């Protein structure tokens, strides 16, 4: 039986805390939460389920968004219609990034931010993330474009940063001449 996750709203001060490292391997309770996150993120990207369960589309969620102050992120990336790659990274760190920066042309959104916020968020076009899987095995992920943005967005959550903190108040929008928009 599917039950919607209880995602914290941006007004909740717990979202502004810096998360602590999670202990590995993850316990059964955390593995169940991860499964539930994967289900909700997947459903949110499939129109039929998104309508049925009243879900806003999202491709990532960090444990702090559920009120758990630990460094765990989950990303469900639709690589082609109805086909998803799932990423679960415990204690993730960006170990390298491209010089090139990009922004999502439509702007970023967040499942904890229930309003539209105008502006482009400058992100690295490519990042390499290292961390651990649920069982404590070291993993390394190279992400580019939209997936790179998602990793940076979710890792920000672990550091108490919301995407709109990164919008330049004096220069909210970039042109293609200033920054590659995807």
Is residue 154 flagged as an active site residue? yes
Q: What are the phi and psi torsion angles at 92 (to 5°)?
A: -70, 150
d(CA 54, CA 169): 32
Q: Kindly report each contact of residues 54-58 with a partner whose C-beta sits within 8 Å and lies 24 or more positions away, as own/partner.
A: 54/4, 55/4, 56/109, 56/111, 56/114, 58/109, 58/110, 58/111
Instruction: Please tell me the distance from the alpha carbon of residue 60 to that of residue 181, in angstroms, as a whole number.
Output: 20
13: left (phi over 0), alpha (psi -120 to 50) or beta: alpha
Cβ(170)–Cβ(67) below 8 Å: no
Cα angle 67, 70, 76; round to 5: 80
Q: Which of 40, 108, 154, 176 is catalytic?
A: 154
Long-range contacts from 48-54, C-beta under 8 angstroms, 24+ separation: 53/2, 53/4, 54/4
Catalytic positions, please? 154
């Amino acid at each position: 039986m599917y039950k919607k996750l209880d995602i914290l709203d941006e007004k909740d001060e717990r979202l502004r805390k810096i998360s602590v490292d999670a202990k590995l391997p993850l316990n059964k309770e955390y593995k169940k939460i991860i499964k539930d996150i994967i289900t909700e993120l997947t459903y949110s990207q499939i129109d039929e389920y998104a309508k049925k369960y009243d879900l806003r589309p999202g491709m990532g969620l960090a444990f702090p968004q559920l009120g758990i102050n630990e460094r765990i992120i989950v990303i469900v990336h639709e690589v082609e219609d109805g086909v998803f790659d799932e990423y679960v990274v415990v204690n993730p760190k960006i170990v390298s990034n491209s010089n090139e920066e990009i922004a999502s042309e439509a702007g970023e959104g967040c499942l904890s931010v229930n309003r539209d916020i105008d502006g482009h968020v400058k992100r690295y076009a490519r990042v390499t993330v290292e961390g651990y899987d649920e069982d404590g095995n070291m993993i390394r992920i190279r992400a580019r474009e939209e997936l790179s943005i998602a990793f940076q967005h979710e890792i920000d959550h672990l550091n108490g940063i919301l995407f709109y903190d990164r919008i330049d108040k004096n220069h909210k929008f970039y042109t293609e001449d200033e920054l590659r928009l995807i």
